């Protein structure tokens, strides 16, 4: 059966030993945050995830959401679980205390997102979209708008959505047709249809706050003419209660491959009352506040699925007996004695088989590296928003901007890979619904698609981030990697980590120069290399995380390990596997980049 227990020891290793979470207390607003508080929060989060959310994952998938006459009902147990989440204050975790939030760091929220995604990805969509709406309104809403809506989003009694996609356009939002007509009273009338709206309609909250992209009369063509509007399901009364039903309705919900317990709605806006968020024709900039947070959250979804997939496969592999280890010398039947009759040798647990170990270690090594990478981004988010020095804030923001498409794409790819590995380890049981592992494959798949497909993330990396301000963003990553490798080049204990990473990093530098040079002459060359470039970059970033983790683990072992030698020894073993068996994938991506785009472009479209 699918298995999940929050990997608290590994989380603490990354939070406290690798990233030194104590530095958070030096940021304004986080003075009271320390390791003890963080540990208490994540332990409670683990209990919620394991005891409340995870038991609903399989049943929620089997039941799914139901739609009847515009009304959407979530699966059995979801309303009670959501109420438990509200009562525990989890919807307010990383929100502004001025609006009822707890003011915890984004780093802690990142850990929480991983746990919820591991336990029940479909359930996590509801509070996850709300937090994205909260961030957009907090950054761009008027003071009156924030006072009216943010407390409700923070305490979870109202939820939020982001309404971008329309039937004729997905990524190319310049093609949207939804219109916003001024009503003469400071509000607007919104008309149009939005599709694929996660949590667009449900029965968990008393109101739903839609953030909708639309075009004003006479707006410029393309994305420069898009504005953002707040459109509540129920227009609030003067007392802040849900009032009359607005002109927004759910036309249907999608029947999907996965995350079936998450309602994905078609929303029809029929002269719905809405209010402008941010400046006219500035909707894309406002929405990117929400989208960037959502892309990082999608990376955590992939990481969460990968962790559950690994745990489920490892538990099965240690229990399931099939075949004998090729290393066993006693392959013959045991001899009988007076006390023991002759019996065949029992089969071994399948974890003894090399190919099973390969799959488990592939999943685990990338999951642990992905956790370190994503938590690093979470820490940099806090520095970008709270550090008193503007230069430090800029540096942190640059690194977050650079790594966001990498975290989203690489970790969502990892979720699918680890889930498929788990099905393979479980064999026939993995293919059967009741065992809960095939659901992970279906649930993981959407993360590679929504919030900008992984191909779009790759284009963002090479088209915007690579050359921005003469490579300023790249330097935020390249410089610390180069400095670490130079400082540890002669360390024999770290040679199994530093050596392979230096080689891969050198190829990343060479690929960066090649993509930039070719892209300036022919932009399609950069586009042709984009996916290979992102995957190469991701492997180097994960390798750098393993270098740093190996440095910490080795230091702990030399210091006596305080009774935890097995943990640190396993950490080094997993890291060595990554360096020897996963990092070499970078060569394939490097060769793909250097091959150029001709083989992609030369075949005529009609020949496909």
Residue with tokens 């290393």: 327
Q: How would you classify the pairing of strands 207-215 and 66-68?
A: unpaired
Q: How would you classify the pairing of strands 207-215 and 158-163?
A: parallel
Active-site residue flag, 385: no
C-beta of residue 190 within 8 angstroms of C-beta of residue 177: no
Instruction: Select which of 114, 201, 438, 451 is catalytic.
Output: 451
Reference 217, options 170, 183, 168; nearest CA is: 183
Sequence-distant (6+) residues with CB within 8 A of 440 are 2, 305, 308, 309, 312, 415, 419, 422, 423
Q: How far is CA 187 from CA 239, 271, 281, 605, in A?
A: 19, 11, 16, 47
C-beta of residue 290 within 8 angstroms of C-beta of residue 402: no
Joined together, the tokens standing for residue 86 give 């509200």
C-beta of residue 159 within 8 angstroms of C-beta of residue 199: yes
Q: How far apart are CA 155 and CA 100, in angstroms?
A: 7
Q: How far apart are CA 472 and CA 399, in angstroms?
A: 10
Quickly count: other Cβ atoms within 10 Å of residue 60's Cβ.
26
Joined together, the tokens standing for residue 371 give 């956790």
C-beta of residue 135 within 8 angstroms of C-beta of residue 289: yes
Q: Write down the number of H helices and E strands in the chain.
A: 18, 11
What does the DSSP assignment read for 200-254?
SS-SSSSEEEEEEEEE-TTPPSGGGGEEEEEEESEEE-TTSSEEEEPSEEEEEE-
Would you please indicate which residues are annotated as catalytic (active-site) residues?
451
């Amino acid at each position: 059966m699918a298995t999940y227990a929050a990997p608290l020891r590994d989380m603490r290793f990354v939070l406290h030993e690798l990233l030194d979470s104590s530095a958070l207390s030096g940021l304004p607003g986080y003075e009271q945050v320390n390791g003890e508080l963080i540990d208490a929060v994540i332990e409670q989060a683990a209990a919620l995830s394991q005891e409340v959310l995870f038991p609903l994952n399989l049943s929620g998938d089997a039941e799914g959401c139901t739609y009847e006459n515009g009304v959407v009902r979530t699966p059995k147990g979801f309303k009670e679980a959501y109420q438990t989440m509200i009562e525990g204050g989890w919807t307010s975790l990383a929100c502004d205390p001025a609006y009822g939030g707890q003011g915890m760091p984004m780093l802690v929220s990142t850990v929480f997102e991983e746990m919820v995604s591991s336990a029940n990805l479909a359930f996590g969509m509801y509070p996850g979209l709300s937090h994205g709406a909260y961030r957009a309104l907090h950054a761009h809403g008027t003071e009156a708008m924030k006072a009216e809506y943010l407390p409700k989003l923070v305490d979870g009694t109202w939820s939020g959505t982001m309404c971008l996609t329309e039937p004729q356009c997905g990524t190319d939002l310049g093609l949207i047709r939804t219109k916003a007509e001024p009503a003469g009273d400071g509000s607007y009338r919104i008309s149009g249809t939005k599709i694929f709206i996660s949590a667009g309609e449900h029965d968990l909250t008393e109101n739903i706050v839609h953030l909708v992209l639309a075009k004003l009369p006479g707006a410029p063509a393309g994305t420069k003419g898009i504005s953002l509007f707040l459109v509540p399901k129920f227009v609030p009364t003067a007392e802040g209660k849900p009032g009359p039903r607005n002109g927004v309705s759910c036309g249907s919900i999608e029947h999907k491959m996965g995350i079936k317990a998450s309602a994905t709605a078609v929303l029809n806006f029929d002269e719905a009352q809405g209010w402008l968020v941010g400046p006219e024709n500035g909707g894309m900039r406002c929405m990117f506040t929400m989208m960037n947070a959502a892309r990082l959250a999608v990376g955590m979804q992939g990481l969460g699925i990968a962790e559950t997939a690994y745990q489920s496969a490892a538990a099965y592999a240690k229990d399931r007996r099939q075949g004998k280890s090729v290393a066993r010398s006693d392959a013959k039947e045991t001899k009988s004695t007076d006390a023991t009759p002759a019996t065949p040798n029992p089969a071994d647990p399948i974890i003894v088989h090399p190919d099973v170990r390969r799959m488990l270690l592939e999943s685990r090594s990338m999951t642990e590296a992905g956790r370190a990478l994503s938590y690093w981004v979470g820490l940099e988010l806090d520095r970008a928003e709270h550090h008193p020095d503007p230069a430090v804030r800029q540096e942190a923001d640059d690194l977050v901007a650079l790594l966001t498409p990498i975290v989203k794409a690489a970790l969502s790819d990892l979720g699918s890979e680890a889930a498929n590995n788990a099905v393979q380890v479980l064999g026939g049981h993995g293919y059967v619904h009741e065992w809960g592992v095939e659901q992970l494959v279906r649930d993981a798949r959407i993360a590679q698609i929504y919030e900008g497909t992984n191909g779009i993330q790759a284009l963002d990396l090479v088209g915007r981030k690579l050359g921005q301000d003469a490579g300023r963003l790249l330097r935020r990553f390249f410089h610390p990697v180069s400095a670490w490798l130079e400082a540890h080049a002669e360390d024999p204990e770290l040679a199994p980590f530093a050596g392979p990473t230096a080689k891969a990093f050198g190829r990343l530098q060479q690929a960066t120069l090649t993509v930039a040079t070719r892209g300036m002459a022919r932009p399609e060359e950069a586009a042709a290399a984009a996916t290979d470039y992102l995957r190469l970059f991701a492997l180097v970033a994960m390798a750098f995380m393993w270098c740093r983790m190996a440095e910490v683990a080795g230091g702990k072992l030399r210091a006596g390990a305080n009774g935890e030698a097995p943990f640190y020894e396993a950490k080094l073993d997993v890291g060595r596997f990554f360096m020897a068996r996963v990092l070499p994938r970078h060569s394939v991506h490097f060769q793909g980049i250097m091959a150029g785009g001709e083989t992609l472009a030369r075949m005529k479209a009609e020949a496909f």
